Amino acid sequence: MIRYLFIHLFSILFLLPQIAGAKSNIKGQIHDNKSTIPFAAIQLSGSALNTLSDSAGNFMLTEVPPGTYTLLISATGYKDYKEKIELRDTQTLNKDIALKVDESGQELEGVVVTGTMKEVSKLSSPVPVEVYTSKFFKANPTPSLFDALQNINGVRPQLNCNICNTGDIHINGLEGPYTMILIDGMPIVSGLATVYGLSGIPQSLIDRIEVVKGPASTLYGSEAVGGLINVITKRPENTPLLAADVFASSWGEVNADLSTKFKVGRNAQSMLGVNYFAYNNPIDNNKDNFTDVTLQNRISVFNKWSFKRKNDRLFSLAARYVYEDRWGGEMDWSKKYRGGDEVYGESIYTKRGELFGSYQLPLKEHLVFQFSANAHDQNSAYGNLFYLAQQNVAFTQLIWNKVLGRHDLLSGISYRYTYYDDNTPATANAQEQNAPSRTHLPGAFVQDEIAFNTKNTLLLGLRYDYNSIHGSILSPRAYYKWNSASKNNVLRIGVGNGYRVANVFTEDHAALTGARSVEFVRKLKPETSWNTNMNFVKKIVLGNSYMSIDASAFYTYFTNKIIADYDTDPNKIIYDNLDGYAISKGFSLNLDLAFDNGLKILTGGTLMDVYSVQNGERKRQLFTEKFTGVWTISYPLSRFNLSFDYTGKVYGPMRLPLLSDADPRQEYSPWWSIQNIQVTKKITKKTEIYGGIKNLLNWTPNRNNPFIIARANDPFDKQVQFDAGGQALKTADNPYGLTFDPSYVYGPNQGRRVFLGMRLSL
């Protein structure tokens, strides 16, 4: 069966382009009588034909059957354009189209690529995609995208260690390993480096971030179970000649983003970005003799090239290098104690290189070859335990896109090779000899987007992967989209399958710290899940004001879920496939309001229930809140060139890992909130200064807790007495019978601070 499936997919990919000859063409340029308009969305009603204008506003629709159509064009900030056209066989129709600026305040839909792996207008995508531009993140400037994502509804950066402050990204309550991170559509952020993959990208080079909630394994393979985040960088031709964004805080943090662009010859443009972040000021406000925030020195260099080719075919190439030195621990720790048992510290050296690109083949058919490679080297010392790891990932993919009548076909083949080696039992054989893991993952996928008419679209997809360790895996999905004639109402319903092959040691920081030993009950099996979701979007124009309502309901059912058991033994983390099932379900709502006086409000909330059932016992998932709410409120005072931003997020209680029944810390976190305020002053058209207060309420997780880190006074457990079974005994020096453990963490320890910065763009 598998052989026939491969034959079928390959025939679609390579034989179908021979069908259907050229008929008619439509080409032209889009402008506003002042300048050209890049990346406008062009569609032909009654067909699945669509495209985007290029950076010069030019576009072309090829192989259009003769007939009468309505040409539809939309671009952010402009009114929709409609025109009836008639095409004869073999005709080339030239159009010069001027769009009118939309003065109503309504922002039209932008372009997205993540949901369907091709550029379409957000409105046209059958898969719901949330888009956040670089302007959104400027309302709360942060030194990394990991921190910036906290203002997105349903997305939460989760700290996994009180000491070294590493973390991952949760989407709709699912842990970080279920979130796939892409940069320009390339899966280059491996499990070993989720937090590093979101650090060190200069925000001045980010065009937008697209978020898909729910499984995307049909297109992107393993890891895209809970959802994916696609960081899309700017094209070199659209970046400023010189840009700088520098800010510092009263805690001693300094962050600098610098970027420039240049040309090489007539056909090549390049942009170069450098990010530097430093924090070297140990602070211990909670008085546990441990640093509240990890000290860091990080530098990242990003370079992207864009090459002009015949017929505007795509060719881009990008590279990034990240180096980071971070440590946290006892206040008197220094590097001479690294790896020893005198003074406790967690010290992490990271070196990471990435290379990725896309090349459209010089053929009549739309075939794009994509490739990426990354090498990650990590040298970590957690107290007197070393974790030395090397991970190399190579990825290639060939994608073919073809429109045949009402069918918009997308198919492809891919291959991923992963090399992983470390100094833990994860890469040791039965004889306890080092045996690096080498995983081969070839795959093929096909997707058909069927436009029945201008209101109804159906998307069907299927992916097959063969994992060299776990064997064959199939991932289907289906989405249905309906929109009203005015396009002010959109309904999307989807169902899909996700899978994930776990590597515990690359994903769970707690497995590395040495505070608990790791135990595997049996060989882990790949996780699988089924997800269904419903999304409804309504746009309302109220005079010169605008409101958008975006509501979603989701339900995910897991089998073979891998659960880290912190409860059975306080000295162990026990990993096993769940002998039962797990559920993640909930509802989210986003409201986007723009008023004619300039006031903008973006707010939302997510209500969810995430739990597992085993042997008839229901257990709530650790580190998962039942409710989160976010808001960004912006208001300009144009007369004084001032603008104000008030951002925040509120979290409901989450279950936390206690070491025993005698542990005096709270089993559930309280309701808590991080809020920020910012004022921006525009000095010139190219220069602005900004400043404000972060964590306005000065919230930290040590409130109403006797301590956060268990046994912080004895991090090597030298004074702990154990019974014959290895359990800590209650003594006068240890009244609760605890061992050292930094895994009780649910929020940042960093309190209120003032920040000040400046942006320059030439």
User: How far is Cα 168 from Cα 198, in angstroms, rounded to an integer?
Assistant: 10
In a domain, 318, yes or no: yes
For 383, the token pair is 């107290």
Q: Answer with the one of 73, 103, 133 that is the final residue of a domain.
A: 103
Query: What are the DSSP E strand ranges found in 142-241?
Result: 155-159, 167-171, 179-183, 186-189, 206-213, 227-233
Give the structural domain span for 40.
2-103
In a domain, 332, yes or no: yes
Q: At CA 269, angle to CA 263 and CA 275, rounded to 5?
A: 100
Mean pLDDT, 10 residues at a time, the chain of 762 residues: 46 43 78 73 73 77 83 76 84 86 46 61 79 87 85 86 83 81 77 59 77 73 76 84 94 94 92 94 94 94 92 91 94 95 93 93 93 91 88 92 90 92 76 85 93 92 87 88 88 86 54 57 77 91 83 90 71 75 93 88 95 89 92 91 95 91 92 96 92 96 89 93 87 92 88 96 86
The confidence score (pLDDT) of residue 472 equals 86
In a domain, 180, yes or no: no
Q: Residue for token digits 């490679």?
A: 373
- In Å, how far from its chain's centre is CA 138? 18
- DSSP 8-state assignment for residue 135: H
Please tell me the pTM assigned to this model.
Answer: 0.82
Query: What are the DSSP E strand ranges found in 638-671?
Result: 642-651
Task: List own/partner pairs for 10-15 with CB under 8 A and 24 or more apart.
Answer: 10/413, 10/444, 12/409, 12/411, 12/446, 13/398, 13/400, 13/411, 13/412, 13/413, 13/444, 13/446, 14/400
Amino acid letter for position 620: R
In a domain, 199, yes or no: no
In a domain, 627, yes or no: yes
Q: Answer with the one of 87, 103, 119 that is the final residue of a domain.
A: 103
In a domain, 291, yes or no: yes
User: How far is Cα 281 from Cα 295, in angstroms, rounded to an integer?
Assistant: 7
434: Cβ–Cβ under 8 A, 6 or more apart, which residues? 421, 427, 428
Name which of 251, 253, 327 is nearest 285 in CA terms: 251
Q: Answer with the one of 54, 72, 103 that is the final residue of a domain.
A: 103
Q: Residue for token digits 């509501």?
A: 551
For residue 91, the tally of other CB atoms under 10 A from its CB is 13
Three-class secondary structure of residue 335 per DSSP: helix
What are the angstrom distances between the C-alpha of 472 and each of 2, 226, 304, 344, 559? 8, 21, 36, 45, 17
What are the angstrom distances between the C-alpha of 520 and each of 98, 104, 491, 562, 596? 64, 60, 44, 11, 60
642: Cβ–Cβ under 8 A, 6 or more apart, which residues? 636, 679, 680, 681, 682
Specify the number of domains making up the chain: 2
Is residue 242 within 8 Å of 760, Cβ to Cβ? yes
Q: Residue for token digits 């030019």?
A: 58
In sign, the C-alpha dihedral spanning 147, 149, 154, 160 is: negative
In a domain, 453, yes or no: yes
CATH number at residue 40: 2.60.40.1120
170: left (phi over 0), alpha (psi -120 to 50) or beta: beta
Q: Which residues in 436-460 are b (16+ Cβ under 10 Å) and which e?
A: eeebebbbbbbbbbbbeebeebebb
Q: Which helix (H) or strand (E) holds 148?
A: helix 145-148
Q: Please check whether residues 98 and 242 belong to one and the same domain.
A: no
In a domain, 667, yes or no: yes
CATH number at residue 740: 2.40.170.20
Q: Please check whether residues 556 and 410 belong to one and the same domain.
A: yes
